[in-house]
Amino acid sequence: MTSQRLAIYRYLIGTDSHPTADDIYQALQKQFPTMSPATVYKTLELLVDMGLITELGFGDSANRYDGNPGLHLNLICVHCNGIADLDEPLLARLAEQAAAAAQFEIMRGRHEFYGLCASCRKELERSASQSPSRQTAG
Amino acid sequence: MTSQRLAIYRYLIGTDSHPTADDIYQALQKQFPTMSPATVYKTLELLVDMGLITELGFGDSANRYDGNPGLHLNLICVHCNGIADLDEPLLARLAEQAAAAAQFEIMRGRHEFYGLCASCRKELERSASQSPSRQTAG
DNA sequence: TTGTATGCAAATTGTTTGCATACCC
DNA sequence: GGGTATGCAAACAATTTGCATACAA
């Protein structure tokens, strides 16, 4: 266990921003100016394998990482790209039922809803009322 | 709407194998020998945007696509990499609760459990009993 | 001292882009 | 006939790899 690994892990559990590997790399530049991206990637893989963190993969961009390894929902805003965690008791029951129904042995899960967060929703409503693009024009 | 697009869409809704873009490209080689990977990617993006298919993104390998656009679980076997769909009524309730709890407007979701499918589980149990790696060796 | 994590840079892979031609409507 | 999807190949970006050195135990 090295100080780089510890720092990466600490950074992840200390933030709720769900950073990308590069975000982490950037953030730790001050602390470890010589640290390479490869180290970040290797460490993240290690932590995922150990079950200490969760990987949130997106097809079209960089992976993001979640310091919370437990079963929870991720609410991902398609407008601001923010990710909020939400603990939802129903998830545990969902896991039970799925395991029973399919004889599946669950090791971990990933649960994401994509949509609009509260603040983006408000923002969009506001701008929509300011410029009503195509009301049945007169 | 072109025949390539139709073929890609048809292939996706006609299979439960959750193929990668390249799988689709390979599978349609006989039908469209001149089709390029770019066409597959462009079409998949289009279909995702239209809400007709779902993208299952993985950080460490190629994205896979799901012809089933509805709310359902994906049970992903970490041993054979198989993906099974599972309709689970609880998911709808989960979505409602999450939306209410976080004032979040859900557009779509992605729900994955990682673990061992039934057949891999049996297979592993069998091989484990054949070579009991480290029983209290007495 | 011994094993292993680091850091570097190049390689790999999945995916996207720009543009001319062919095709659908 | 007009617009647009296709196909090609090059560009791109995220991630992984190999290997010598530095570090932790």
pLDDT tens per residue across all 138 residues of chain A: 899 999 999 999 999 999 999 999 999 999 999 999 999 999 999 999 998 999 987 767 789 999 998 899 999 998 888 899 999 999 999 999 999 999 999 998 889 999 999 999 998 888 877 755 444 332
CA A22, CA A29: separation in Å to the nearest integer?
11
Q: Show residues, CB within 7 A, near nucleic chain C.
A: A 2, 4-5, 32, 34-39, 42-43, 59-60; B 1-3, 20-22, 37-38, 41-42, 45, 61-63
Per the CB < 8 A criterion, the answer to whether A91 and A72 are in contact is yes
CA B112 → C1' C7, Å?
A: 35
Pairing mode, strands B73-77 and B54-56: unpaired
CA A59 → C1' D17, Å?
A: 22
What's the whole-number average pLDDT of chain B? 89
For chain A, the straight-line distance linking the first and the last C-alpha, in angstroms and rounded, comes to 70
Pairing mode, strands A105-116 and A73-77: parallel
What are the C-alpha distances in Å from B131 to residues A54, B116, B118, B137? 32, 20, 20, 12
A37: amino acid identity, one letter: P
Residue nearest to nucleotide C6 (CA to C1'): A39
Which residue is associated with the tokens 């009503």? A132
Over residues B73-110, the pLDDT tens digits come to 999 998 888 899 999 999 999 999 999 999 999 998 88
Instruction: For residue A104, give the nearest of B138, B55, B85, B60 by alpha carbon.
Output: B85
Mutation choice for A interface testing from B73, B88, B91, B108 by most A CBs within 10 A? B73
Tell me which nucleotides of strand C come within 7 A of a protein CB: 5-10, 13-18, 23-25
Nearest-Cα distance to chain A for B122, in Å, is 10
- pTM assigned to the model: 0.84
Nearest-Cα distance to chain A for B138, in Å, is 31
- Cβ within 8 Å of residue B54, ≥6 positions away: B48, B65, B66, B68, B69, B108, B110
Query: Which of B94, B110, B113 is closest, CB to CB, to A106?
Result: B113
